[in-house]
Amino acid sequence: MVVLSGRLTRDAFNALTQKGQAYSKFDIAVNRRYMDAGGNWQDEVAFVPVSLWGPAAERAKDRLKKGVPVLVEGRLVLNEYTGKDGTPQKQLVVNTRRVQILQSMYDGAQSAPADNGSQTNNNDGEPAVDDDVPF
């Protein structure tokens, strides 16, 4: 399991699968600040692709906008596909179990109250407890 905090780099792409399941795809920028050997502060940014499935994707689709800070929890999945040039490609993606929008950091407002006890299933059938997801 991985837990990452970052900001959306662009609005989420929202769609339905051929079977009618909702999903969202978005990237987050995860920042790391460190001091180099010379004593200077350096900033490093990693861009991480994220996918969100099912009812959670439906609830979040209007709120996953560029610049919004989020906390994502999920598992890493290695997607393999053939690129446009015919070469095999691989992409490591966070298949999100839970997304929390960090509104208090984003707009100065308090985070929405928890949805106490609701459960949804993520795309691999495991229960995804949404008891601290604000949407």
Q: Confirm whether 103 is domain-assigned.
A: yes
What number of residues does the chain have? 135
The residue ranges of DSSP E strands in the chain, in sequence order, are: 2-8, 13-16, 22-35, 41-53, 69-82, 88-101, 119-121, 127-129
Q: What is the total count of domains within the chain?
A: 1
Per-residue pLDDT band for 46 (boundaries 50, 70, 90) equals: very high
Task: Say which residues have a Cβ less than 8 Å from residue 67's Cβ, sequence separation at least 6.
Answer: 7, 8, 106
Q: Note down the domain range covering 26.
A: 2-129
Per residue in 56-90, pLDDT (tens digit) is 999 888 899 999 999 999 999 999 999 999 999 99
pTM comes to 0.70
Q: Confirm whether 135 is domain-assigned.
A: no
Residue 48 is part of a domain; what is its CATH number?
A: 2.40.50.140
pLDDT of residue 62: 87
Per-residue pLDDT band for 42 (boundaries 50, 70, 90) equals: very high
